[in-house]
Amino acid sequence: MNERLDSPTLTIDLAALSANWRLLAAKAGPAQCAAAVKADAYGIGLEPAVGALAKAGCTTFFVAHCSEGVKARTALRAAGHNGRIYILNGGPLSAPMAELYLRFGLQPVLNSVAELQFWRTITATTHNPPAAALHFNTGMNRLGFDKSDEINLDGVPFDLVMSHFVSAECPEDADNQSQIAAFTEIVTRFPGVTASLANSSGIFLPANPHFDMVRPGYALYGGNPLPGSSNPMQPVVQLDVPVLQIRTIEAGARVGYNGQWTAQRRTRLATLSLGYADGFPRIAGHVDTAPDHRAQALIAGVLCPFVGRTSMDLTVLDITAVDPAAIELGSRAQILGRHITIDDLAERSGTIGYQILTSLGARFTRHYTPAPVH
């Protein structure tokens, strides 16, 4: 494993990932449950995630870029599985890129008339080309065909019609119902074609807008699809980092760049091998927040607040509440796990859990617990 004393360790529970997919699949049934594995499977590693999800029964995957699609296809083949892989950020607009789509059987999500027209030229000279998906804008205003677009689908095979929720994590938001209504109207134009709207939080909306397929992402990896309510998902990631140094400072001493945090009492500190270069939020120990609202780490069974600005490779923890005999150099502090969720760390650091997950550092030593075989 080449694990070193100073190396943070990221443990990824593929069994929990599989269990989360099965829970969402059961919730959405009889609709098909796909999986969003873009951004390196939300930071946990695309290849092992795809392999585990395929073994759990997932047959449809969504990525953002063609390069991710190639990795996903390779991972599926290595696991002895096949499946559909859709490229969310659009169809190819060059011949070399189109060649990759064809070689690896990647299915473009067409978002514009220009993409549609180019894909038509590709499919016109290709035997049995991959079927495309059609993405319609129902309020997000990022990608997708608008209602006013003139769409000529002659000669273009497609097997999916989709859109994307704006505020599914807020069940009371009026945008949800307006988007469901708009997408329902769109779907009537394509009888017999698979329709997909719901993301992770969309699966749990009271209206059950599951249509034929749901596309969870964040919830698969342990994120809470029901903000403000109990999280039904199992945690997938655990991050443990080593203590590099322990020191005691007196009241009035300052910590970190620009001395942004000042000790109000005699304080014991632990310097951890973790920094913003590892994706840890720079303001996790921000000074304008009460200690019980700052980001925390679990060490020797005690939740301790971060203090001072996060450095590139280091951050500092106030361990005054911990028995000195319980900590030594090399002791591990847990940053993420069952006691500190990705949503909790994000909220206390002024960001969102998606950013915490997708920023998980490449320098971590990664351990994967195996997924069960079904």
The one catalytic residue in 55, 86, 218, 257 is 257
By the 10 Å C-beta count (0-12 exposed, 13-18 middle, 19+ buried), 249 is classed as middle
Cis, bond preceding 372 (omega within 30 deg of 0): no
CB atoms within 10 A of CB 99: 12
The one catalytic residue in 38, 42, 55, 86 is 38
CA dihedral (207, 213, 218, 221) in degrees, to 10, reads 120
**Distance (Å, whole) CA 322 – CA 317:** 11
**Distance (Å, whole) CA 267 – CA 300:** 17
By the 10 Å C-beta count (0-12 exposed, 13-18 middle, 19+ buried), 239 is classed as buried
By the 10 Å C-beta count (0-12 exposed, 13-18 middle, 19+ buried), 116 is classed as buried
- Residue in 60, 373, 372, 356 with CA at minimum distance from that of residue 237: 356
**Distance (Å, whole) CA 228 – CA 332:** 30
Catalytic site includes residue 101: no
- Residue in 267, 250, 233 with CA at minimum distance from that of residue 338: 233
**Distance (Å, whole) CA 133 – CA 234:** 31
Name the DSSP class of 319: -
- Identify the helix (H) or strand (E) that includes residue 315: strand 315-318
Name the DSSP class of 145: B
For residues 132 and 157, the answer to whether their CB atoms sit within 8 Å is yes
**Distance (Å, whole) CA 201 – CA 159:** 24
Q: Report the SS3 class of residue 270.
A: strand
Q: Report the SS3 class of residue 262.
A: strand
Catalytic site includes residue 257: yes
Tell me the catalytic residues.
38, 257
